């Protein structure tokens, strides 16, 4: 009798503890490429896309490389910080456990990864979007075993989902003649192919519980230093910029279509193309000194592909738009994050204010149809 009571008390305590922690916590799951990678590729031993050497991370924490492909924070870091959501842990981080997932979410982003499986093949190892979804399936299995299906359904439906990839599908696929896609498609049919694939991927995520999801668009990727060195004059590649604009327009439409089609889905699109383009046209006006070359560069040898220990750094890292040949600096990422917060109306991240779907006080029986 006494024992039964004790068990009931323990059970009630544990159970209410579960309700408290899982009911209130909103975490994020990030799917992306090197713009969001926070350590996955550094643990893929055969990957050629790694941010494992100085001077990556020089303005982050202790200044040692941490897997981020920039000097400081990624756009996703900054958005999370500004809206009160914890930074998700890299999927391959050894600290990953059920408790960490429940309190912080997971970041599956991988440098070189794209929407298409074949994108970034030159890097040998990277997680493409379908692979990232497979990894998320494994995470769901772990969480279901830990807290049960009902609580897990709630947890995954309340989470925020960020999908930020696409630039490698151009830079490290369509625009490189060594990839078959570059001669199989033209601009329009290639973008159709990307949208069909992305639509299928986001529908799978919806089936796994994703309700609040946002896709980040592409910036003026024809103006990254790596693209500029393709021409002797160092101009932006307008063809590449046009592809980014077409991709953004198509993705925005896809999000509207999916939100209308998938039950309870709020799938949003946001890009920072214009604000980055403004800086490129008139850096001084926005407090930058340089918007066309990398802060970290290997003397006059361009493109140096990655920042290496023997590279020279620019004098003031906060005045450069680009950190290396591909990636924006911390300061640029902050500007991009601010724009995305504005465009996407991130207020709901901030649990003190408006949650778009506050849990009802008297919960109706959950139903799946
Ligand atoms: C919530 O968001 C508002 C404005 O977006 C911000 O001023 C406030 O500090 C945020 N609160 C928390 C707890 O993050
Ligand atoms: C892409 O790769 C995944 C494994 O990560 C595989 O299951 C899927 O069939 C592949 N899709 C295509 C279209 O090749
Ligand atoms: C949509 O939301 C309603 C109200 O919260 C819920 O009853 C229903 O089960 C949801 N449907 C799906 C497919 O998530």
DSSP string, 69-109: SSSS--HHHHHHHHHT-PPPEETT-TT--HHHHHHHEEE--
Provide long-range contacts, Cβ within 8 A and 24+ apart, for 124-127. 124/46, 124/47, 124/48, 125/41, 125/44, 125/45, 125/46, 125/47, 125/48, 126/41, 126/44, 126/47, 126/49, 127/40, 127/91
358: in domain: no
The confidence score (pLDDT) of residue 86 equals 94
Cα–Cα distance, 301 to 305 (Å, whole number): 10
Rounded to two decimals, the pTM is: 0.87
Ligand 3: distance of its center to the CA of 185 in Å?
Answer: 39
18: in domain: no
Cα–Cα distance, 112 to 126 (Å, whole number): 6
The confidence score (pLDDT) of residue 4 equals 54
Ligand at minimal distance from the CA of 84 is 1
Ligand 2: distance of its center to the CA of 130 in Å?
Answer: 6
The confidence score (pLDDT) of residue 24 equals 57
| 131 Cβ below 6 A of ligand 2 | yes
Ligand 3: distance of its center to the CA of 353 in Å?
Answer: 22
Mutate to test the pocket of ligand 1, among 353, 354, 355 (most ligand atoms within 8 A of CB): 353
The confidence score (pLDDT) of residue 276 equals 97
The confidence score (pLDDT) of residue 14 equals 47
7: in domain: no
Cα–Cα distance, 105 to 25 (Å, whole number): 10
Ligand 2: distance of its center to the CA of 61 in Å?
Answer: 37
| 347 Cβ below 6 A of ligand 1 | yes
Q: Which domain holds residue 316?
A: 26-344
8: in domain: no
Which of 34, 47, 167, 329 is catalytic? The answer is 34
351: in domain: no
The confidence score (pLDDT) of residue 362 equals 36
| 193 Cβ below 6 A of ligand 2 | no
What is the mean pLDDT for each group of 10 consecutive residues in the chain (369 residues)? 50 48 77 97 91 94 96 96 93 97 97 97 94 98 97 96 98 96 97 98 98 97 95 95 98 98 97 97 97 90 84 96 97 97 72 40 37
The token pair at 185 is 């498609």
What DSSP designation does 61 have? T
Protein residues with CB under 6 Å of any ligand 3 atom: 263-264, 367
Mutate to test the pocket of ligand 3, among 263, 363, 365, 369 (most ligand atoms within 8 A of CB): 263
112: in domain: yes
The CATH number of residue 166's host domain is 3.40.50.1110
Cα–Cα distance, 348 to 140 (Å, whole number): 24
Q: How far are the Cα atoms of 47, 86, 99, 332, 361 from residue 73, in angstroms, in the given order? A: 22, 14, 24, 10, 38
The confidence score (pLDDT) of residue 1 equals 45
* Number of separate domains in the chain: 1
| 84 Cβ below 6 A of ligand 1 | yes
369: in domain: no
143: in domain: yes
| 351 Cβ below 6 A of ligand 1 | no
Which of 128, 324, 329, 330 is catalytic? The answer is 324
């Amino acid at each position: 009798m006494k024992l039964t009571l004790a068990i009931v008390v323990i059970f009630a305590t544990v159970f209410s503890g579960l309700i408290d922690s899982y009911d209130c916590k909103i975490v994020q799951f990030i799917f992306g490429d090197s713009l969001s990678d926070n350590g996955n590729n550094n643990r893929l031993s055969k990957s050629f896309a790694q941010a494992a050497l100085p001077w990556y991370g020089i303005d982050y924490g202790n200044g040692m490389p941490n897997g981020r492909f920039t000097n400081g924070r990624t756009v996703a870091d900054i958005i999370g910080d500004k809206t009160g959501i914890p930074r998700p842990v890299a999927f391959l981080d050894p600290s990953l456990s059920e408790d960490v997932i429940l309190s912080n979410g997971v970041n599956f982003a991988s440098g070189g990864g794209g929407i298409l499986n074949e994108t970034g093949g030159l890097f040998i190892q990277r997680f493409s979007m379908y692979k990232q979804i497979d990894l998320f399936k494994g995470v769901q299995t772990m969480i279901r075993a830990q807290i049960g299906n009902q609580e897990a359904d709630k947890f995954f439906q309340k989470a925020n989902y960020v999908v930020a990839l696409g630039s490698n599908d151009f830079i490290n696929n369509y625009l490189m003649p060594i990839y078959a896609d570059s001669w199989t498609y033209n601009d329009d049919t290639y973008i159709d192919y990307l949208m069909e694939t992305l639509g299928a991927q986001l529908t799978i995520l919806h089936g796994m519980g994703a309700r609040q999801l946002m896709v980040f668009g592409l910036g003026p990727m024809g103006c990254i230093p790596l693209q500029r060195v393709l021409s002797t004059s160092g101009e932006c590649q307008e063809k590449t910029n046009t592809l980014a604009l077409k991709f953004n327009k198509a993705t925005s439409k896809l999000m509207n279509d999916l939100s209308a089609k998938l039950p309870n889905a709020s799938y949003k699109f946001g890009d920072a193309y214009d604000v980055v383009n403004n800086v490129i046209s008139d850096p001084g006006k926005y407090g930058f000194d340089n918007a066309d070359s990398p802060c970290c560069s290997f003397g006059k040898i361009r493109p140096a592909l990655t920042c290496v220990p023997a590279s020279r750094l620019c004098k003031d890292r906060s005045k450069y738009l680009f950190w290396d040949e591909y990636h924006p600096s911390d300061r640029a990422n902050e500007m991009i994050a601010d724009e995305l917060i504005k465009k996407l109306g991130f207020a709901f991240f901030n649990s003190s204010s408006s949650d778009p779907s506050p849990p009802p006080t008297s919960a109706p029986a959950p139903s799946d149809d």
